[in-house]
């Protein structure tokens, strides 16, 4: 991400990249490292690796992990990222340490972010390893995509979520106006589709 070059308070050009204080209004600007978490998943003396699909370090192999979301503990980040990237559910078993790294292919890049990566040891709990045999590829045509492709918050929030909710709201309002006696079928057994962030019912039976 490019370094801040203008003051966010008054718009004046900053004399240097952060950390710096605006000479026009006195606002301080900082450039803090971004928190991340990775998991070293080991089973039968083998270590789980995933290949990166994007820069930096595109095509390189490494342990699954990623950026911490707001309010998320690094342990939660490590377990979530492994599930999202590989389809495996894991449990963190220990803390290894923190490594500080420049998040860029060229370490001397003046605009490069700095990341603080917490590494944890973990063991697999279960999951479908074959569902993500190419973890570096985003492929919505996978046979199991409906079980995995769902993002509800944080960096992965779907930009079309607001429109989808509005469409559903309008559809339900029109439906209930035309069928005022519409109600859920009583005593039905509701099953939910498991997803990464939230659950949705597999089906709902109604009557009127």
**Could you give all domains of the chain from N- to C-terminal order, each with its CATH number?**
1-31 (no CATH), 33-138 (3.90.79.10), 161-207 (no CATH)
170 or 117, greater pLDDT: 117
Q: How far apart are CA 140 and CA 103, in angstroms?
A: 28
To 5 degrees, how large is the angle CA 77–CA 81–CA 84? 140
Most confident of 112-121, 179-188, 198-207: 112-121
Q: How far apart are CA 3 and CA 112, in angstroms?
A: 8
pLDDT band at 193 (very low <50, low <70, confident <90, very high): low
163 or 57, greater pLDDT: 57
Peptide bond into 49 cis (omega under 30): no
Q: What is the pLDDT of residue 52?
A: 87
Indicate if the pLDDT at residue 188 is higher than 90. Answer: no
Indicate if the pLDDT at residue 149 is higher than 90. Answer: no
Q: What is the pLDDT of residue 97?
A: 96
CA 151, 82, 55, 37 torsion: positive or negative? positive
């Amino acid at each position: 991400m490019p370094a801040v070059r203008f003051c966010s308070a008054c718009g004046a050009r900053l004399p240097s990249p952060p950390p710096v204080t605006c000479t026009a209004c006195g606002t301080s600007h900082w450039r803090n490292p971004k928190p991340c978490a990775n998991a070293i998943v080991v089973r039968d003396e083998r270590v789980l690796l995933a290949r990166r699909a994007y820069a930096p370090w595109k095509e390189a192999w490494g342990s699954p992990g990623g950026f911490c979301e707001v309010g998320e503990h690094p342990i939660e980040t490590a377990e979530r990222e492994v599930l999202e990237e590989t389809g495996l559910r894991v449990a963190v078993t220990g803390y290894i340490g923190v490594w500080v790294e420049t998040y860029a292919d060229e370490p001397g890049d003046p605009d490069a972010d700095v990341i603080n990566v917490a590494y944890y040891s973990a063991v697999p709990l279960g999951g479908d390893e074959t569902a993500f045999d190419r973890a570096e590829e985003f492929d919505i045509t996978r046979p199991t995509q409906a079980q995995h492709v769902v993002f509800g918050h944080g960096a992965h929030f779907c930009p079309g979520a607001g429109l989808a909710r509005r469409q559903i709201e309008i559809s339900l309002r029109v439906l209930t106006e035309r069928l005022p006696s519409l109600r859920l079928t009583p005593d039905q057994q509701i099953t939910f589709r498991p997803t990464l962030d939230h659950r949705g019912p597999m089906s709902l039976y109604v009557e009127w």
